Structure 1
Amino acid sequence: MKPLSLNLLKIGGVGMVAGLLSSQVAFGVTLLDEDFSDGNRNGWYSVGTSDQATGNTVSTVSSFDSGYALRYYSSYSNNAVVTSFSGVTLQNNGDYVELSATYRYSAPDIAGNSTTGPLLGLYNNMGSPIVEDSLGSESGVGEVVQSWDGYKATKYIEASTGDGFIFSQSPVGNVVSAFSRFSGSQIDNFDGGFVLVSGVNYSNSLRIELQSNLTDVEITYSISGGGNSFSESTIVAASNLTFNEVALAAYSGQGGVNSYLGDISVTSNIPEPGVAALIIAGGALGLVMVRRRRSSSPLQD
C-alpha cells in the first residue's frame, strides 16, 4: 500500500499543472496591446490608396487612456488599417480570442448612416500578411488577402434599428473591397438601439469563442459609450479556428470628419506556446519531487 501522503503529493503535482493552466484562463493572455503612446503607427498598415495611408497618422487625443490615437482618414471606401499578432488556434470548448478598440468621431455633427461607423475584424492571414501601405485600388488588395478567412462586425452611426451586422469572409476573396462595410456573407443583422454621437469614446469588441461541439463558434459584437451599451451574439459553423490578423476601420460618409481609434488589444485564454511549456515544466518538476520523496520513504508497497 502506498503512503497516503505520497498519493496526495502526486495528486497535488497533477493538480498544480491543472491549477496553473486554469489560472491562464482566469487571467487571460494579451496577444496585442497598442495605444500609440510613442507617436508611431507601429506596423499598422493602410489598405487604402496612398493619400489615405498618409492620412492615417498618430495624434494627441486626451480622451484616450494613453493620450494618443490613430487619426483615421475620413472615407467610406475600402480603407481599413491592419496588423498581425501572435496567432492562436481555438481547440477546446470555451477557447476564445477577443479584439477590443476604442473609437471616437470628432465633428459638430456626424451623418452618413450606412456609410459611417466603426468596423472590427479578426482573420487568419494564411501566411500572407499585409506589410506595406497603399494596397487598395493602386495594387489590388484582393490579390494579397484573397485566401484570408475570418469575421468582421460593424454598426451604423445614425440608425438604431437594423444598424448592426456580423459578416463571415470565408475566404475574403480577390476583391478590392475586401474590408468595406458590405463585403462578405452576412450572418447576423441586429438592432443596436442607439445612435452614435460625436465627441464620445465608444468601446467596441469582437469575440470569437469555440463551442462544446468543437466545430461551432459564438461570435459576439459589443459596443458601449455615452451611457449606452449593446451586445449581440450569434453561433455559426466555423470555417476557420486560427486567428493572427486584425482589421479596424472608422468609416465616414462625410468629408472633413476626423475619426480616431486607439486603446487596441487582442486577448485570449489560450496560453502562448512558451507560457504553456513553462506551466507543464513546472508541473513535471513537482511530479519529479514527488518521486524523489517516495524513493526516500521507508514505506513500500
Structure 2
Amino acid sequence: MRWLLPIVLLHGAMSLCADEVVRITWKTAHAAPPPEFRPPASDLLPMFRLALNTLPESAIVALALSQPSLLSLTPAQAAKMRPLVAERYTQISSSPAYSGVESALPYCFAEKHPLEGLALVHVPDGADARTPVLLFLHGYGGSFLWYQHLLAEHFGNSIIICPAYGINTSTISGEYVEECVQAVGARLGRPMLKPVLMGLSAGGFGACDIYTRHPERFDRLICIAAYPPEDLLEKFPRVAKAAFIAGGEEHFVKSGDFARRIGKLRQLAPLTQQFTVPQADHFFLLTHTALTMARLREWLPRP
C-alpha cells in the first residue's frame, strides 16, 4: 500500500493539538456505487440530493425520517427514532469538535460513482502510537455524524475512524477499509494500533465478512444489531475475538436463531461473546445507550 501515501489528500496541519474531527479522502477504485431505490423512495431522491447540498445534516436526517422509505424504515420506526436523533444533533450543535463538521451524507448519496474514499476521524487530544483505534462501519442509510459523536462521547480516548461507504456497508470491501486505515495513518504521520472492527446493523454483516477474510488486520470484531451470517460461521479462525450484541425483541433473537448461530460459532471460536439487551428492538444503541455502552466497554481492549 506504499503507493497510497502520496495521493492522500491532507486537510489541515499535520500536528493535532486538541480533540478534533478530521475529514480524510483518498483515491480509490473500491468506493460504493450510487444508491438505487424503488418507488416511492426513488421519486424522492432528486429532492433529497438537493437538500443534501443546502441543509445541515440535522435537517437532512429529519427530512429522511419524514419519508421513512428513504432509510427502509416503517413509519412507526421513524417516529421512534425522530426525537432520539434530534436530541443527538442538539448535542452536536454545542460540541466544539463536531458542530462545524461537514456531513458525509452527500458523499453517501452521490449521483455518480465516487473516485475517492471518505472517512471522518475523531482524534483525541494527545493521541499517539499507543492510542486505541476503533473502526466503525455505519448502518444502512449512510454515515450519520451522530454515530461518531455518540461513540466519541463514551470512547473519547480512542481514535475513531468512520469510513463512509454509500448507504449499505454490508458489501463494503476489505480493500476499501484497508485503504482507509492507511490514509488515516498517513494523515496522523505515525503508526497505529490494530483497530477494533465494529459494525452496526448492515455494517455488522460487512464487518463479519471483512474480519473472516483478514482477521490478522484487526484486534477484534464487535457487531451491534447484527449476527454472524451462516455462510461465514466456519470461516472464523479458532482464535477469533468476536462479540455480538442484539436487542431482545429482534426477530432473529426471539426466533432463537441468534442463540443458535452464536452457539455454533462458539464451538469453532471459543472466545466468542454475546449479549442481548432486554426489552430492546433494533435501535437499542439510542434507546438503551447506557447498558449498550457498558457492555461494549467490557469487550474493548484495555488502553
The interval holding the TM-score normalised by the smaller chain is under 0.3
Normalised to the residue count of structure 2, the TM-score between the two structures is 0.24
